[in-house]
Chains A and B, each alone.
Chain A
Amino acid sequence: MPKLLHHPGYADEKLQRVEQLIPCRELQAGMLVSLMGQPQHYSYPSIFIYGHRASGKSHVLHILMKELELPHAAVSCVECVSAALLYERVLTSFFGRSAASFLPRSPSLSEFVRLYRHQRSQSPAEQTRYIVMEKAELLRDADANLLPALLRLQELVDDNITVILLSEIVWEKFRPNTGCFEPLLLHFPDYSKGELQQILSTDSHPSYSAELYSSYINILLGVFYSVCRDLRELRHLAALNFNKFCEPLTEGKETHKLWRNIEPHLKKAMQTVYIREVSSLQWEQMQQTEDEGGALRGLSAHTHVELPYYSKFLLIAAYLASYNPARTDKRFFVKHHGKIRKTNFLKKNEKTSNHLLGPKPFALDRLLAIFYSVVDSRVAPTASIFSQISSLVTLQLLTQISHTDQLDAPKYKCSISLDFISAVSRTVNFDIVKYLYDFL
């Protein structure tokens, strides 16, 4: 096996171990190692690594840092709800918990830099320190000065430190308007089919031979490779369906029939487990019970919502208000609408369907006016009618557009689909299509 990883700064056996742990990423790791240089040398201030989901970015970095025993701070940006947490993490992992306790309550960037410099003067870096930041795309939503400062942190704190940013997004989308220090860019390409096969085959079942597992992976990839190249998902699917695959083996059947046995099963998995219609636990139960009838219904099969009678009408009214232009209300809801004829009314209509444009906001007054004309009995404007509107908002069937502080004339939008509202209106014998401008 040719050694791809080789660097004078690190012991060969260590690098070899790294190589074993990161199959199919030797090239990128080699690049990284050479970028990092010898431990005590200064490295490039910031490195930006991008690649799709599950292309081994974090894994490679994690293995490198761990196996080469480099001083590092691994931070996930999604976890750092505030910059303070980020600073705290970094200080803790470099200088211990006591250092972080000097941080004030909501520290600014300069306070962090000052504290870092202070700590550095006490314990200067003997070898390059690394900050590995996962999901770096979230840094764009943080304070405007955070990302530029991190990119040249080496300069700011005057220490041998390198910031490594990991992201699924290309650097072009990061670059601030004001300009900044350009990091070194490194791309992790997607795994090819062969590579996926190689990686997936590594976690074989202990009680079966590695060859069998590898052939199983081959079949699995044949089914799923066209729709999914996410290593994590594939691994998940492989684990879920392996028992089924092995069933004929335990029953003593021939191996070459395995394929015919598993294929329809995998196809079914593609329609259910893969899109999380059915959870993995339920999938396993399904396999055990052999229930081919498919008694288990997926999540999206349950769309029916039971609503009180007036809530249904409120929802219908909201839908009409959202998808009909306000000027057509007269046409639909006034009994003797006089001069507005259907023909000349339709002439000036817009080309695009309102359903393509999406729901439009409407005021509470309009909602209630439509409601009272739509509902077939006389309804007193009781408190419960109004509270139903707000409970529809909490159920996310309506959305309040205006700020909740605005008490008079609040505005809403109807956020349900045509299918949903037609199902609802069928239950109250209301022909909604007759009242929709788009279907006139």
Chain B
Amino acid sequence: MTCVHSFFQGCFVFKPSSKKRKTRSLGETCVNPKSKNITWIYVLLEVLQEELNKKILDSLLDFAKKCSTTRQHCDWASKMRANEIPTAALVLGVNVPDHDMTFQSLFDLLKHSVTPHVVSVQAKECGVLKHLLKRVLEGLMDVAVDDDDEEEMEQNPRSVHCSLSTLSDWYTAKTKKSSSATPGKKRNVQDEDEHHHHHQTPPVVIIFKDLEGFNPRVLQDFISICSRYIDRLPLMFIFGIATSPSTVQHMLPHSVSSLLCIELFQSLSCTQHLATVIDKLILTAQFPFKLNGKVMQVLISIFLYHDFSVRNFIKGLQLALLEHFHSQPLSILCCKKKEALLNVTLLSGRDLETVRQLPSFIRFVEKQEAGEQVKLMTDDDHLKEACQKLIKDLRKYHKSYYPVLRCLHTLTSLLPRYPLGKQIRELHLICLEKNVWENEDYQSAMKLLKMLAKDELITSLRKCSEILSSAKSKKMKKAFTELDELLAKFKHLDVQEEPESVTSPIRNLQQQKKTDLFQLQKTLLEMNESRRSKKKSPFELLRNEVVEFIDGLVTCHLPPPESQTLYEVCYYSSSATVRRHLNATPRTSIQTALSSPCFYLQNESLKNEDGTVSNSAPDICIAYKLHLECGRLINLYDWLEAYATVVSAAEGQDPDCDTFGKVDDVKHARFIRSVSELEFLGFIKSTRQKTDHVARLTWGGC
């Protein structure tokens, strides 16, 4: 998190000019709430990260502690299998970039509460056994240097004694020394003492961050070496696995895996992880910054389609946040209620002008009476008052939006085939887009709700009432009491209900001894009639009432944010920017640069109306343009000729002149350079199929 932190600070150090202007007009108060807002988000994110990993880390810690204690047991059974190395297989999912954070916190936790001897290794540093050993030794003994005296280390030059016996000697020396308890160093005394109370021999933990990346051979050798020292050196392994636990069996033969005592730890799947993040950060009213539907869609699709990385999702959120505060001058109003109301009073004339031009505000003004319209457009103070009211309204909207959204989700997530999505984020996206109640799926969902069984309906309604009860706004309180009344009515039903004996036609049918086709048809028709005309049971009536109530809540509280006035203050909507930043398209940018150089160079003379490349474009653009006209194999000489002609035209030579289009040394050199640049960019490559020809590597062409 620290790097992101500094990123955000950096953003404020290099304030763009527009920002500066604003700062001047608003004084100090403007920057403060914003930065406060942002830091608050970061704190929240950190807490969230810790929370997410807490469960699995705790169980790992327990495992480590258990291992170190069972080793000291002297009973027969544990002695018999003392030569197994305890190993935790930690399955983390394929989103490898997220793992670093987990491992870092695991590392810190282990160090803090179990053992000072922890080292984590990565596959890319350990191509051969020697490097792995070296990494392990360095990682462990460096700690020793920090903790204790340096003399010992100076005596043995490190690289010579790169073997586990050195480590085991070091370990025995260390444990012996610390058990003889020579206090002297101030820093670690307390820490060390703590260890002695718990256990004399803290385990040595080696974390393999990415098991898949390791060379199986190296790992096998390392494990078999380690098992030779297990009696002297209480080792413990943690394998970080990205794919599936069966990888362990693929990598290690039986002779090696029999040296390990593997226990499996499965972390939350990344989709669950994302659900928590969305739940805590996005579906909450306490946090004024919002994403609109499109940006949300971009972030979620990057997650689902590309990387499964929660960290990247959060990065995307942070990017959107920074972009919002950077590009939207009215974002000063995007903060806590009190500050927002205060900031409204501090708005400058220019800011108020921006407010007047907001599409949502224009819509709002159009609905007002004529006199009011004029007032809003001309009177600054009046506008400020109106703004304060509008900001309050927006907050109220949010306060009721999320509880109702959750209620609707609890109800619709029961329905078969999930008409409104399985996850709440899908429902949220639908609601952000347009009026949800106009959605066909919504209508079918409501129909299905009217057919729900009693117990299902009641349990989900109970959940809804819980959600509503935790909401704070007045409207939600009202809705809560209404729902409670409805629930009470359901309870009443239970008491009242009497077994009704209805002589159903089907029973008549059963009573008849012989059924012919005609009879059957008749009875079925009768049944149909009776069903249509049948009076609804009290439960059905009540159920309809409940569904109507929910429908009412939805139409009242779930209109899309675009319908709210001043929504631009809180909602970030530039999905293109986010996509451009997060989902880079290197190929497209190169092609844009080559086919229309003016896009990047911003040189007026390069612009051509018909989209073709002008003669005066950079050499590589001309060469690229010409190569597009060729087939799969390009004759270099023809290419050069064509190039020379174009360049001559650009130099303004007379087309009738003798030297026009002739290749001179300079042109030749320029051509060669652009061709090699194209080769470097991967558009062409040399080929041995034909002399003086290069092969085109891109599709298309004539």
Please measure, in the bound complex, the distance between the C-alpha atom of A220 and the C-alpha atom of B60, giving whole angstroms.
34
Whether A308 and B225, one on each chain, are in contact in the complex, defined by CB atoms closer than 8 angstroms, is no
Whether B255 and A280, one on each chain, are in contact in the complex, defined by CB atoms closer than 8 angstroms, is no
Q: Which residues on the A side are within 8 Å of B245 (C-beta)?
A: 299-300, 302
The minimal Cβ–Cβ distance linking A167 to chain B, given in whole angstroms, is: 14
Q: Which residues 65-102 of B have a CB within 8 angstroms of A?
A: 76-77, 80-81, 84, 86-87, 89, 91, 93-94, 96
Whether A394 and B210, one on each chain, are in contact in the complex, defined by CB atoms closer than 8 angstroms, is yes
Whether B270 and A280, one on each chain, are in contact in the complex, defined by CB atoms closer than 8 angstroms, is no
Stretch at the interface among A7-15, A110-118, A143-151, A380-388: A380-388
Bitwise, A15-35 to B at CB < 8 A (1) or not (0) is: 000000000000000000000
The winner among B130, B225, B244, B682 for most chain A CB atoms within 10 A is B244
Whether A281 and B585, one on each chain, are in contact in the complex, defined by CB atoms closer than 8 angstroms, is no
Whether B81 and A239, one on each chain, are in contact in the complex, defined by CB atoms closer than 8 angstroms, is yes
The winner among B81, B86, B91, B130 for most chain A CB atoms within 10 A is B81
The minimal Cβ–Cβ distance linking A380 to chain B, given in whole angstroms, is: 6
Which of the residues B87, B159, B164, B213 comes within 8 Å of A394, measured between beta carbons?
Answer: B213
- B: interface residue count bin: 35 or more
Please measure, in the bound complex, the distance between the C-alpha atom of A151 and the C-alpha atom of B588, giving whole angstroms.
65
**B243 interface residue per 8 A CB criterion:** yes
Q: Which residues on the A side are within 8 Å of B468 (C-beta)?
A: none
The minimal Cβ–Cβ distance linking A427 to chain B, given in whole angstroms, is: 12
Known contacts A281-B261, A310-B306, A396-B243; is A78 also within 8 Å of B81 by CB? no
**B248 interface residue per 8 A CB criterion:** yes
A-B contact count (CB 8 A): 151
Q: Which residues 351-400 of A have a CB within 8 angstroms of B?
A: 365, 380-385, 387-388, 391, 394-397
The minimal Cβ–Cβ distance linking B255 to chain A, given in whole angstroms, is: 7
**B179 interface residue per 8 A CB criterion:** no
Which of the residues A82, A276, A310, A383 comes within 8 Å of B584, measured between beta carbons?
Answer: A383
**A295 interface residue per 8 A CB criterion:** no
**A236 interface residue per 8 A CB criterion:** yes
Question: Closest chain A residue to B63 by CB distance?
Answer: A281
Q: Which residues 300-339 of B have a CB within 8 angstroms of A?
A: 302-308
Whether A79 and B225, one on each chain, are in contact in the complex, defined by CB atoms closer than 8 angstroms, is yes
Please measure, in the bound complex, the distance between the C-alpha atom of A257 and the C-alpha atom of B5, giving whole angstroms.
69
Whether A299 and B249, one on each chain, are in contact in the complex, defined by CB atoms closer than 8 angstroms, is yes
Which of the residues A76, A238, A276, A281 comes within 8 Å of B257, measured between beta carbons?
Answer: A276
Whether B94 and A239, one on each chain, are in contact in the complex, defined by CB atoms closer than 8 angstroms, is no
Question: Closest chain A residue to B309 by CB distance?
Answer: A308
**B247 interface residue per 8 A CB criterion:** yes
Question: Closest chain A residue to B682 by CB distance?
Answer: A408
**A1 interface residue per 8 A CB criterion:** no
Q: Which residues on the A side are within 8 Å of B263 (C-beta)?
A: 279, 281-282
Q: Which residues on the B side are within 8 Å of A243 (C-beta)?
A: 77
**B246 interface residue per 8 A CB criterion:** yes
Please measure, in the bound complex, the distance between the C-alpha atom of A362 and the C-alpha atom of B96, giving whole angstroms.
25
**B587 interface residue per 8 A CB criterion:** yes
Known contacts A79-B225, A306-B270, A388-B307; is A105 also within 8 Å of B160 by CB? yes
Known contacts A76-B228, A239-B80, A381-B587; is A396 also within 8 Å of B247 by CB? yes
The minimal Cβ–Cβ distance linking A165 to chain B, given in whole angstroms, is: 18
Whether A85 and B243, one on each chain, are in contact in the complex, defined by CB atoms closer than 8 angstroms, is no
Q: Which residues on the B side are within 8 Å of A397 (C-beta)?
A: 243
The winner among B94, B160, B163 for most chain A CB atoms within 10 A is B94
The minimal Cβ–Cβ distance linking B238 to chain A, given in whole angstroms, is: 14
Q: Which residues on the B side are within 8 Å of A382 (C-beta)?
A: 306, 583-585
**A304 interface residue per 8 A CB criterion:** yes
**A235 interface residue per 8 A CB criterion:** yes
Q: Which residues on the A side are within 8 Å of B308 (C-beta)?
A: 306-308
Q: Which residues on the B side are within 8 Å of A281 (C-beta)?
A: 86, 261, 263
Q: Which residues 134-159 of B have a CB within 8 angstroms of A?
A: 159
Whether B212 and A394, one on each chain, are in contact in the complex, defined by CB atoms closer than 8 angstroms, is yes
Question: Closest chain B residue to A278 by CB distance?
Answer: B262
**A233 interface residue per 8 A CB criterion:** yes
**B24 interface residue per 8 A CB criterion:** no
Which of the residues A76, A88, A236, A308 comes within 8 Å of B80, measured between beta carbons?
Answer: A236
**B676 interface residue per 8 A CB criterion:** no
Q: Which residues on the A side are within 8 Å of B587 (C-beta)?
A: 381
Whether A280 and B96, one on each chain, are in contact in the complex, defined by CB atoms closer than 8 angstroms, is no
Please measure, in the bound complex, the distance between the C-alpha atom of A76 and the C-alpha atom of B222, giving whole angstroms.
12
Question: Closest chain B residue to A381 by CB distance?
Answer: B587
Bitwise, A61-94 to B at CB < 8 A (1) or not (0) is: 0000000000000001011011011001000000
Bitwise, B266-301 to A at CB < 8 A (1) or not (0) is: 100111000000000000000000000000000000
Q: Which residues on the B side are within 8 Å of A391 (C-beta)?
A: 94, 96
Whether A304 and B261, one on each chain, are in contact in the complex, defined by CB atoms closer than 8 angstroms, is no
Whether A299 and B258, one on each chain, are in contact in the complex, defined by CB atoms closer than 8 angstroms, is no
Please measure, in the bound complex, the distance between the C-alpha atom of A434 and the C-alpha atom of B583, giving whole angstroms.
33
Which of the residues B76, B221, B307 comes within 8 Å of A206, measured between beta carbons?
Answer: B76
**B45 interface residue per 8 A CB criterion:** no
**A240 interface residue per 8 A CB criterion:** yes
The minimal Cβ–Cβ distance linking A111 to chain B, given in whole angstroms, is: 14
**B685 interface residue per 8 A CB criterion:** yes
Known contacts A302-B91, A381-B585; is A53 also within 8 Å of B307 by CB? no
**A309 interface residue per 8 A CB criterion:** yes
Please measure, in the bound complex, the distance between the C-alpha atom of A233 and the C-alpha atom of B247, giving whole angstroms.
22
Q: Which residues on the A side are within 8 Å of B4 (C-beta)?
A: none
The minimal Cβ–Cβ distance linking B337 to chain A, given in whole angstroms, is: 39
Please measure, in the bound complex, the distance between the C-alpha atom of A258 and the C-alpha atom of B89, giving whole angstroms.
36
Whether A78 and B80, one on each chain, are in contact in the complex, defined by CB atoms closer than 8 angstroms, is no
The minimal Cβ–Cβ distance linking B4 to chain A, given in whole angstroms, is: 20
Q: Which residues on the B side are within 8 Å of A284 (C-beta)?
A: 77
Please measure, in the bound complex, the distance between the C-alpha atom of A88 and the C-alpha atom of B224, giving whole angstroms.
21
Please measure, in the bound complex, the distance between the C-alpha atom of A238 and the C-alpha atom of B269, giving whole angstroms.
38
Which of the residues A79, A276, A305 comes within 8 Å of B254, measured between beta carbons?
Answer: A276
**B260 interface residue per 8 A CB criterion:** yes
**B242 interface residue per 8 A CB criterion:** yes
The minimal Cβ–Cβ distance linking B681 to chain A, given in whole angstroms, is: 11
Which of the residues A79, A276, A304, A381 comes within 8 Å of B228, measured between beta carbons?
Answer: A79
**A303 interface residue per 8 A CB criterion:** yes
Whether B225 and A78, one on each chain, are in contact in the complex, defined by CB atoms closer than 8 angstroms, is yes
Whether A300 and B249, one on each chain, are in contact in the complex, defined by CB atoms closer than 8 angstroms, is yes
Whether B585 and A408, one on each chain, are in contact in the complex, defined by CB atoms closer than 8 angstroms, is no
**A247 interface residue per 8 A CB criterion:** no
Please measure, in the bound complex, the distance between the C-alpha atom of A78 and the C-alpha atom of B132, giving whole angstroms.
14
Bitwise, B40-55 to A at CB < 8 A (1) or not (0) is: 0000000000000000
Please measure, in the bound complex, the distance between the C-alpha atom of A322 and the C-alpha atom of B244, giving whole angstroms.
22
**B509 interface residue per 8 A CB criterion:** no
**B449 interface residue per 8 A CB criterion:** no
**B162 interface residue per 8 A CB criterion:** yes
Question: Closest chain A residue to B220 by CB distance?
Answer: A78
Whether A280 and B585, one on each chain, are in contact in the complex, defined by CB atoms closer than 8 angstroms, is no
Whether B588 and A76, one on each chain, are in contact in the complex, defined by CB atoms closer than 8 angstroms, is no
**A203 interface residue per 8 A CB criterion:** yes
Question: Closest chain B residue to A103 by CB distance?
Answer: B160
The minimal Cβ–Cβ distance linking B229 to chain A, given in whole angstroms, is: 9
Q: Which residues on the B side are within 8 Å of A214 (C-beta)?
A: none
The winner among B84, B243, B303 for most chain A CB atoms within 10 A is B243
Residues of B within 8 A of A (CB): 76-77, 80-81, 84, 86-87, 89, 91, 93-94, 96, 128-130, 133, 159-160, 162-165, 210, 212-213, 221, 224-225, 228, 242-249, 254-255, 257-258, 260-264, 266, 269-271, 302-308, 583-588, 682, 685, 697
What would 24 A/B residue contacts be, using CB atoms closer than 8 Å?
A79-B164, A79-B165, A81-B129, A105-B159, A233-B258, A242-B77, A243-B77, A275-B254, A279-B260, A281-B261, A299-B248, A300-B245, A302-B264, A302-B266, A308-B308, A309-B306, A310-B305, A365-B697, A382-B583, A382-B585, A383-B584, A384-B584, A387-B307, A397-B243
Closest 7 CB pairs of A and B: A239-B80, A384-B306, A383-B584, A81-B130, A309-B305, A396-B212, A279-B261
Beyond known contacts A206-B76, A380-B585: 14 more, CB 8 A cutoff: A76-B225, A81-B128, A81-B133, A233-B258, A235-B80, A239-B81, A243-B77, A275-B254, A279-B261, A305-B244, A383-B585, A384-B307, A394-B210, A394-B242
